[in-house]
Amino acid sequence: MNEAAHQWRLAIAKIVQPYRPSIMQRRHFLKLSGISGLVFCSLSACRPATTKQGASPTPASKIASAPQTQFTQLFSQEIKANRPWNLVVMIKDEQDPYQVQLKRGAEKAAQDFGVNVKVLDNKCNTCIDQEIQAISNVIQQGHLDGLIIVTVDSVKLVRVVEKAIDAGISVIAIDTPINSDRIVSFVDFDNFTASQQLGEWVVQRLKGHGRVLILNGVLEQQNALERRNGFLAGLKQGDMEVLDMQSAHWEQKEAKVITANWLKQFPNVDVIFAACDTMAFGAREAVVEAKEQKIQIVSFDGTRPALEAVQKGAIAATAMQQPLPQARLAVQMMIRHLQNRETFPPIVKIPPPPVITQDNVKEYLARQ
């Protein structure tokens, strides 16, 4: 195992220590210096970004505009529940491999910690009305202590989420922020840094010069913006030409159609960056059908199918999210909050591992 991977594994094994700040401190960012801590929030990853048209994204704005502060304590150990708290974990796409891993992580955490977890699957990444209705239903049913949610829209879910809070349900967001400062915390993966590492890897791979296309996710979702902006930041390390950027809305079929049209329009493409593995497979299908296999596909998520594709050379590299530790951390934080009324920084972030390529993919496949 190389030193970077070793340091990352040490970091990912730790969980943030709760603290009891004042109301003003709650509105500050937390940051753990370097990779020695699990949870950190850097201004480059968390500040509001803008789209190509200058539109603002939808982060938790009251939190994201706060000044940065330092926080360095960690959990010394996990705790078990002193009663079987009733939790709902709501994921945003039952077909997405990353969301499925979140589900697995939450269910394993529930078993380990002694709580009841019910996982509700949304039908798609953009099914806003269905997610709102599902939350309304669990509020009406009662007997719920905590809600851990992967929201499909950072703004449109605010009203129903705050309705749940008014009903006495504690809420933790995971993966995508909610534009409310009333939730317990937001547990996130450092999408910006992971994508930046991918961009830098592409520059190195192409020796500083190349032509790139970018398949974005849903740009109304903060994680999609962070992945795009991080990748662009990484590309700045070289003389790279970005030919076009389009959103395929996390969908494989749409990514295939966009890529097929690109290949007719742009000659001599070197790399296609897909902001999730699912879109990467759509891009790969179009590339193969156009007999343009020299084009390298770079993806994001690090799901098992993507890792296998990296091993075979079908995908050149991927950034690996951490859904299992992410879900476990969220459940542990919820238990501590419900049991001991512990409070946490507004945003906690899990640091990314190194870029996964054919050189190190076997190590990560062995963990799946």
β-bridge partners, 245? 214
> Do 3-189+323-350 and 191-321+358-365 show the same overall fold?
yes
pLDDT, tens digit, 9 for 90 and up, residues 148-204:
999 888 899 999 999 999 999 999 999 888 999 999 999 988 999 999 999 999 999
Q: Where do the domains of the chain lie?
A: 3-189+323-350, 191-321+358-365
Query: Distance between CA atoms of 169 and 287, rounded to whole angstroms?
Result: 48
Q: Return the pLDDT at 10.
A: 47
Both tokens assigned to 71: 């926080």
Query: Distance between CA atoms of 54 and 38, rounded to whole angstroms?
Result: 33
Selected residue with higher pLDDT from 290 and 76: 290
pLDDT, tens digit, 9 for 90 and up, residues 102-141:
999 999 999 999 999 999 987 777 789 999 999 999 999 9
- Would you call 19 helix, strand, or coil by DSSP? strand
Split at pLDDT 50, 70, 90, the class of 243 is very high
Length of the chain: 368
Query: Distance between CA atoms of 216 and 152, rounded to whole angstroms?
Result: 15
296: number of Cβ within 10 Å: 20
- Would you call 118 helix, strand, or coil by DSSP? strand
Q: What is the DSSP letter of 122?
A: -
User: Among 318, 334, 335, which Cα is nearest to 275's?
Assistant: 318
Query: Distance between CA atoms of 125 and 103, rounded to whole angstroms?
Result: 15
- Are the beta carbons of 28 and 67 closer than 8 angstroms? yes
Split at pLDDT 50, 70, 90, the class of 1 is low
pTM score: 0.71
288: number of Cβ within 10 Å: 12
Phi-psi region of 301 (alpha: psi -120 to 50; beta: other; left: phi over 0): left
Query: Distance between CA atoms of 292 and 167, rounded to whole angstroms?
Result: 55
CATH ID of 191-321+358-365, from 3.30.1490.190, 3.50.50.60, 3.40.50.2300, 3.60.15.10: 3.40.50.2300
pLDDT, tens digit, 9 for 90 and up, residues 213-228:
999 998 877 889 999 9
Query: What CA dihedral angle connects 149, 150, 152 and 153, to 10 degrees?
Result: 70
Query: Distance between CA atoms of 282 and 312, rounded to whole angstroms?
Result: 17
Q: Interhelix angle for 277-289 vs 304-312, to 10°?
A: 40
According to the per-residue pLDDT averaged within each range, which of 69-73, 121-125, 162-166, 290-294 is highest?
162-166
pLDDT value at 8 more than 70: no
Selected residue with higher pLDDT from 70 and 123: 123
User: For the chain, how far is it from start to end, CA to CA, in angstroms?
Assistant: 17
- Are the beta carbons of 172 and 241 closer than 8 angstroms? no
Secondary structure (DSSP) of 274-300 = ESSHHHHHHHHHHHHHTT-TTSEEEEE
- Are the beta carbons of 35 and 5 closer than 8 angstroms? no
Q: Which CATH class is domain 3-189+323-350?
A: alpha beta
- Type of residue at 340: N
pLDDT, tens digit, 9 for 90 and up, residues 10-35:
444 443 333 333 332 333 323 222 22
Both tokens assigned to 58: 């939808």
- Are the beta carbons of 242 and 235 closer than 8 angstroms? yes
CA 188 to centroid of chain Cα atoms: 6
- Are the beta carbons of 60 and 47 closer than 8 angstroms? no
Selected residue with higher pLDDT from 356 and 11: 356
pLDDT, tens digit, 9 for 90 and up, residues 255-280:
999 999 999 999 999 999 999 999 99
246: number of Cβ within 10 Å: 16
Q: Under 8 Å CB-to-CB from 146, ≥6 apart: which residues?
A: 85, 86, 87, 88, 169, 170, 171, 172, 334, 337, 338
